Amino acid sequence: MNKGLEVARGKTKVLYEKPGEPDTLVVTALDNITAGDGARRDELPGKGRIAAKTTARVFRLLNLCGLPTHYLSGGEDDDDNEMLVRRANMIPIEVVVRGVAAGSLVKRKPGIAKGAILVPRMVEFFLKDDANHDPLIEIDDIVHRGLATPQELGMMSEIARITFEILAHAWRSRETLLVDLKIEFGRLSGGEGRGNLVIADVIDNDSWRVWPQGREELMLDKQMYRDLETVTPDDLARVHANYETVADLVGSFPALRSGMVAYVADGAQSVALLDPVIAQTNVFGLQSLRRVVSTHLVPAYVLQAVQQLDATFARLVYVASGPHLAAMLSAATPTPVFDATEFDASELALVVAKTLAMDDTVMFGRVLLVQANARSAVLGADAQINAPGPPVGLA
């Protein structure tokens, strides 16, 4: 890819301008692996290719869920390991989310046993400062130094938590425990949404701890490299193999075939009744189809339609236009059936999305985001209702 001037260089990547596109950067991952703030450094041929792939795949998953990231495209082998991202001004803070106690947390707090489940998830901020070993920093200190506003910190925590839950869900479906995760944020430096917070930098196998079967000794992430006393070629070969395994697993996180919602109307007169639910389920980007049947005019046809749909779609949910049809469908199929008249439209859309989210991480992420937005709408409304009005007498 045609690259312009070098903009920044980290321990494991280089960022370049993209000629003619001032709001876009090209990121190339290097074949380096480092630990201890750069005190240990090794060349690991192929690591850049694998890291670019892992990061691109994680960011694509997060984008599909609706989270704001700087990732645009690229990062696969065909892209020469170059990834295109939106240019952002980085906030020099590492945001760490912990679901299981490990690492620096158990060193700092000996009262917390390694492996303890942390509920709610713990969010910590570390100042990016290699010379001082990235010290833990309190929220008020971040604000005092002018690094981020309280509102931005609130959003960063929320986005980091959701990111963690999405990736934990994906890893869980691979029988692997996501222990903790580090992400970084930037503010878009131009284009649409200029100034908005986005997840930036990288999220790869250096950014998290992952324990297959919940067993630390099976770890697949960079901690294995950090823990080495001396680094032999055999060790590096094992590290390389683990990184490759992780890139492959991450590539399989989005479900190949997403779920299907079958909206079934009991008679032509009931078709319109399902429209509000269909509109609400579109929020989740669910695939859907519609059928018209009749429980009392053509009951055999109802059963035939169900058998046909069940045989066609592996991941299916029925939404029936009323209780008679719902009862008939429920008796006829092992697939979940919901009666549209029992819920309001947005509630039903959420239930349907949750049902399909159980084995679809993208849908799971979209559900989390819709819920987070609903929460923030309530908090916003509460803040609004008590906000001081315009000064009286200044009309």
Residue closer to ligand C5P by CB (options 97, 260) is 97
Residues 244 and 53 sit within 8 Å (Cβ to Cβ): no
Give the span between the Cα atoms of 76 and 55, in whole angstroms.
Answer: 10
Q: What is the CA 120 to chain-centroid distance, rounded?
A: 18
Closest contact distance (angstroms) between CB of 141 and ligand C5P is 17
Q: Contacting ligand C5P (CB under 6 A), which of 134, 165, 266, 360?
A: 134
**Three-state DSSP class for residue 353:** helix
Q: Contacting ligand C5P (CB under 6 A), which of 81, 209, 340, 369?
A: 209
Closest contact distance (angstroms) between CB of 24 and ligand C5P is 25
- Write the interaction track for ligand C5P spanning residues 170-189; mark x where CB under 6 A is met and - where it is not: ----------xxx-------
Closest contact distance (angstroms) between CB of 91 and ligand C5P is 15
Give the span between the Cα atoms of 203 and 54, in whole angstroms.
Answer: 7
- For residue 336, give both structure tokens: 């979940």
Closest CA to 258 of 346, 171, 365, 339: 365
Residue closer to ligand C5P by CB (options 167, 353) is 167
Q: State yes or no: cis peptide before 120, omega within 30 of 0.
A: yes
Residue closer to ligand C5P by CB (options 102, 170) is 102
Residue closer to ligand C5P by CB (options 13, 209) is 209
Stretch of 76-84, 201-209, 308-316, 372-380 lying at the interface with ligand C5P (CB under 6 A): 201-209
Closest contact distance (angstroms) between CB of 206 and ligand C5P is 6
Stretch of 99-107, 150-158, 254-262, 274-282 lying at the interface with ligand C5P (CB under 6 A): 99-107
Closest contact distance (angstroms) between CB of 250 and ligand C5P is 15
Give the span between the Cα atoms of 340 and 229, in whole angstroms.
Answer: 61
Residues 32 and 225 sit within 8 Å (Cβ to Cβ): no
Ordered DSSP codes for 86-124 = E-EEEPSEEEEEEEE--HHHHHH-TTSPTT-EEEEEEEE
Residue closer to ligand C5P by CB (options 53, 182) is 182
Closest CA to 163 of 281, 84, 64: 64
Enumerate helices (H) and strands (E) in the chain, giving the number of each.
Answer: 11, 17
Closest contact distance (angstroms) between CB of 220 and ligand C5P is 12
Closest contact distance (angstroms) between CB of 35 and ligand C5P is 9
Closest contact distance (angstroms) between CB of 3 and ligand C5P is 26
Closest contact distance (angstroms) between CB of 162 and ligand C5P is 17
Closest contact distance (angstroms) between CB of 133 and ligand C5P is 9
Stretch of 15-23, 46-54, 101-109, 333-341 lying at the interface with ligand C5P (CB under 6 A): 101-109
Sign of CA dihedral 103, 104, 110, 112: negative
Residue closer to ligand C5P by CB (options 94, 266) is 94
103 binds ligand C5P (CB under 6 A): yes
Give the span between the Cα atoms of 315 and 313, in whole angstroms.
Answer: 6
Q: Contacting ligand C5P (CB under 6 A), which of 73, 104, 196, 294?
A: 104
Residues 91 and 147 sit within 8 Å (Cβ to Cβ): yes
Q: Which residue is nearest to ligand C5P (CB)?
A: 103
Stretch of 6-14, 160-168, 206-214, 341-349 lying at the interface with ligand C5P (CB under 6 A): 206-214
Closest CA to 321 of 373, 278, 284, 376: 278
- For residue 170, give both structure tokens: 């994906």
Closest CA to 204 of 189, 218, 220: 220
Label residue 201 exposed, middle or buried (CB < 10 Å: 0-12, 13-18, 19+).
buried
Closest contact distance (angstroms) between CB of 205 and ligand C5P is 9
374 to 393, contacts with ligand C5P by CB under 6 A? none
- Write the interaction track for ligand C5P spanning residues 75-94; mark x where CB under 6 A is met and - where it is not: -------------------x
Residue closer to ligand C5P by CB (options 67, 220) is 220
Which of left, alpha, beta for 209 (phi over 0: left; psi -120 to 50: alpha)?
Answer: beta
Q: What spatial distance separates the first Cα and last Cα of the chain, rounded to whole Å?
A: 58
Residues in contact with ligand C5P by the rule CB under 6 A: 94, 96, 102-105, 134, 180-182, 206-209, 222
